[in-house]
Amino acid sequence: MSDDVVDLVAERIDLAIRHGSLSDTSLIATKLSDVCYRLVASPDYLSGAPKLSAPRDLVHHATIAFAYQNFRTQWTFTRAGKTESVSIPPQITLSNAVALRECACQGLGLALLADWTVAPDIESGRLVEPLADWSASGADQGSAIWLIWPSRRFVPAKVRAFVDWLMLETQADKGRNGQHARALINRAASGCDGR
């Protein structure tokens, strides 16, 4: 498992689960799920930080950002049809969501992370959402979780079976809160069958 974007053909990889925008149009891609982002910080960070009541206030805060281009310098927030894009100068830039979450939990600043990454920390109180009434995304606003593979021709049977299974499971999750699909995606990405 890696956060790196690899060349599936050159690396002889049959299938990948990718989070974010897709740039390689030669790949076959199926969207598994949209991604909801949450702006989070630790209560300790917020207690000593400047007031944060709107996205524009982020310029006065320490931010922790993904190294990916669409998240590194600009975050976009929407509320009641109004959109605010904010240029952020991150104090810390990382390419790993777990490390980013841990930095936020340790009080190093505000982070924009996928909901399933931070949901347990929000529930436990380790992290809070200072702008909970705003939805958030990276600059591209097209972030999703994708199942991708190099070609429709010569798809190994085990790959086709896995694709079909994952699609059925994520479709069955529509209308629920999405936690089941996220758990399946996390399980699939980690190579764990959950038994």
How high is the pLDDT of residue 193? 41
| pLDDT of 59 higher than 70 | yes
What local confidence, expressed as pLDDT, does residue 195 receive? 35
End-to-end CA distance of the chain: 19
pLDDT digits (tens, 9 = 90+) for 94-145: 988 899 999 999 999 999 998 888 999 999 999 999 999 998 865 555 577 8
pLDDT of 170 over the 70 cut: yes
Query: Is residue 161 pLDDT above 70, yes or no?
Result: yes
Helix (H, G, I), strand (E, B) or coil at 135: strand
Domains assigned to the chain: 16-29+146-190 (no CATH), 37-138 (3.40.190.290)
Residues 6+ apart with CB under 8 A from 70: 20, 21, 138, 139, 140, 143
Q: Is the pTM of this model over 0.75?
A: no
Could you identify the residue written with the tokens 């990454």? 117
With cut-offs at 50, 70 and 90, classify the pLDDT of residue 194.
very low
Q: Which range (31-45, 76-90, 135-149) has the least confidence?
A: 135-149
Rounded to whole angstroms, how far apart are CA atoms 15 and 33? 17
In this prediction, residue 187 carries a pLDDT of: 54
Q: Which residue has the higher pLDDT, 154 or 62?
A: 62
